[in-house]
A and B are shown apart, each in its own frame.
Chain A
Amino acid sequence: KNEVEQSPQNLTAQEGEFITINCSYSVGISALHWLQQHPGGGIVSLFMLSSGKKKHGRLIATINIQEKHSSLHITASHPRDSAVYICAVKVRSGGSNYKLTFGKGTLLTVNP
């Protein structure tokens, strides 16, 4: 079983729809990242959170530490939101070091 599970794997939406991508993890973490990857490869960090909720523009990320679950929401989706969204958890890798463990990503396509 993967330590980080994302759902859905693929998501197609119409412009303007509200979008939710889910991430569940099975390991103890110190923080969780949401990343965005556009075609061509570059990855951008959207959020890092360890509790509660963060908002940036039309993007909202929430995390429930007790349930080991996080969600990424996109309000009023737009075709330029089309990308792969990746959840990653920060776990201890020995001593005081940490590493990221990644979900497999959710491919979002927003049609005009």
Chain B
Amino acid sequence: DVKVTQSSRYLVKRTGEKVFLECVQDMDHENMFWYRQDPGLGLRLIYFSYDVKMKEKGDIPEGYSVSREKKERFSLILESASTNQTSMYLCASRDADSYQETQYFGPGTRLLVL
């Protein structure tokens, strides 16, 4: 059974804190993604990675960075959290960039920045 896990379901942080969101997949997928989801805006791609140590900016990378040191783990980093980064964060993974492949999503991390 495919599995994508995220380190926390709920997280409360203060403005200016450094925040790490971890995502782990056990499917040996090359591709991993970080999205944020906000009411009225839907899912938006922050960063993605096609392989270990590779990363690409998505549609809204500002204020975020990522790390992919191992194939199974993709970390999203908020260097200095701000209140406008309060959101639901979703990680996903996908096998090689095949035409028919499906993205598998984690359960999400709801982050509140005070």
Q: Are B40 and A33 in contact, CB atoms less than 8 angstroms apart?
A: no
Residues in B whose Cβ lies below 8 Å from that of A93: 56
Q: Is the interface of A mostly helix, strand, loop or mixed?
A: strand
Q: Are A41 and B88 in contact, CB atoms less than 8 angstroms apart?
A: yes
Q: Are B103 and A33 in contact, CB atoms less than 8 angstroms apart?
A: yes
Interface size on A, residues (CB 8 A): 25
Distance (whole angstroms) from the CB of A1 to the closest CB of chain B = 14
Q: Are B97 and A98 in contact, CB atoms less than 8 angstroms apart?
A: yes
| Bitwise interface map of A from 72 to 112 toward B, beta carbon under 8 Å scored 1, else 0 | 00000000000000101000010011111111110000000
B102, B108, B110: which contacts A33 (Cβ < 8 A)? B102
A104 to B41, CA, bound (A): 6
In chain B between 5 and 20, which residues have their CB closer than 8 angstroms to a CB of chain A?
Answer: 9
Q: Are B43 and A99 in contact, CB atoms less than 8 angstroms apart?
A: no
Q: Are A99 and B107 in contact, CB atoms less than 8 angstroms apart?
A: no
A40, A48, A97, A102: which contacts B43 (Cβ < 8 A)? A102
A48, A86, A88, A97: which contacts B97 (Cβ < 8 A)? A97
- Known contacts A99-B48, A105-B42; decide if A40 and B102 are in contact (CB<8 Å): no
Q: Are A97 and B42 in contact, CB atoms less than 8 angstroms apart?
A: no
A98 to B104, CA, bound (A): 15
Residues of B at the A interface (CB closer than 8 Å) are 9, 33, 40-45, 48, 50, 56, 58, 88, 90, 92, 97, 99-100, 102-108, 110
Residues of A at the B interface (CB closer than 8 Å) are 30-31, 33, 35, 40-45, 48, 50, 86, 88, 93, 96-105
